[in-house]
């Protein structure tokens, strides 16, 4: 190979490298824009999931205020969204019900899955560590969901928890003193 051919080859490689670098830069910019779109979509989808969970939680909270029983066990009060941190343990309890000698923790999901029971197991097992004041209380657990497939419900009952599901015949109708009649 002559010196001129070598110079020409190096020059063509430099041009080729410059074109490759420009193309990589364009691809990186496109990927960044795509990542930003995916992130925005993920945030929107995450909010949908969070909103559905909030709706389910509010439904079960209001339902348990009106009928404060889990099976035959009556409770005096109900609290929602209770968080506790003690040592290395931190939990958030969706619904927390008490009476004179019993506690019930209720994990609420829009749609229950079997793996949600593992979360309930963990919260159940951590409860008396986080709240030693209730060490002598009976502790009950429940999984509440708008939708719970057969397998999930069977597993809930098998593990000794209550299964709470939405009942379609519940409706609350309220009006003000200024009811509009036409």
SS3 labels along 39-101: HHHHHHHHHHHHHHHHHHHHHHHHHHHHCCEECCEECCEEEEEEEEEECCEEEEEEEEEECCC
Cα→Cα distances 145→8, 52, 152, 164, Å: 72, 11, 10, 6
Query: What is the reported pLDDT for 88?
Result: 93
Per-residue model confidence as pLDDT tens digits over 146-166: 888 889 988 889 899 999 988
2 pLDDT higher than 70: yes
pTM score: 0.67
Share above pLDDT 70 across residues of the chain, in percent, rounded to a whole number: 82
129 pLDDT higher than 90: yes
115 pLDDT higher than 80: yes
Look at residue 23 and tell me if it is in a domain: yes
Query: What is the reported pLDDT for 50?
Result: 61
Look at residue 180 and tell me if it is in a domain: no
102 pLDDT higher than 70: yes
Query: What is the reported pLDDT for 143?
Result: 92
67: domain CATH number? Answer: 3.40.1350.10
Query: What is the reported pLDDT for 74?
Result: 93
Look at residue 123 and tell me if it is in a domain: yes
Query: What is the reported pLDDT for 171?
Result: 47
Q: How far is CA 9 from the centre of its chain?
A: 60
182 pLDDT higher than 70: no
Look at residue 175 and tell me if it is in a domain: no
Look at residue 131 and tell me if it is in a domain: yes
Two structure tokens written together for 121 = 């197991």
75 pLDDT higher than 60: yes
Question: Mean pLDDT, the chain, as a whole number?
Answer: 82
d(CA 117, CA 143): 8
84 pLDDT higher than 60: yes
Look at residue 181 and tell me if it is in a domain: no
Element of type H or E holding 82:
strand 77-86
Look at residue 119 and tell me if it is in a domain: yes
Two structure tokens written together for 106 = 């209720």
d(CA 174, CA 182): 18
**Structurally, how many domains does the chain consist of?**
1
Q: Which residues contact 87 (CB under 8 A, 6 or more apart)?
A: 129
Look at residue 146 and tell me if it is in a domain: yes
Enclosing domain of residue 157? 1-170
Better pLDDT: 158 or 11: 158
Query: What is the reported pLDDT for 173?
Result: 46
């Amino acid at each position: 190979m002559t010196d001129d051919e070598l110079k020409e080859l190096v020059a063509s490689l430099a041009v080729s490298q410059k074109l490759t670098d420009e193309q990589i830069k364009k691809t990186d910019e496109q990927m960044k824009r795509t990542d930003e779109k995916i992130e925005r979509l993920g945030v929107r989808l995450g909010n949908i999931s969070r909103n559905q969970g909030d709706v389910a939680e509010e439904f079960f909270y209001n339902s348990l205020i009106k009928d404060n029983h889990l099976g035959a066990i009556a409770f005096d009060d109900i609290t929602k969204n209770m968080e506790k941190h003690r040592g290395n343990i931190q939990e958030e309890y969706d619904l927390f019900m008490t009476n004179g000698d019993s506690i019930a923790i209720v994990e609420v999901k829009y749609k229950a899955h079997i793996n949600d029971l593992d979360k309930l197991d963990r919260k159940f097992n951590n409860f008396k560590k986080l709240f030693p004041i209730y060490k002598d209380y009976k502790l009950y657990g429940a999984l509440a969901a708008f939708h719970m497939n057969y397998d999930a419900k069977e597993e809930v009952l098998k593990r000794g928890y209550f299964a709470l599901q939405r009942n379609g015949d519940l409706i609350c109708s309220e009006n003000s003193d200024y009811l509009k009649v036409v």
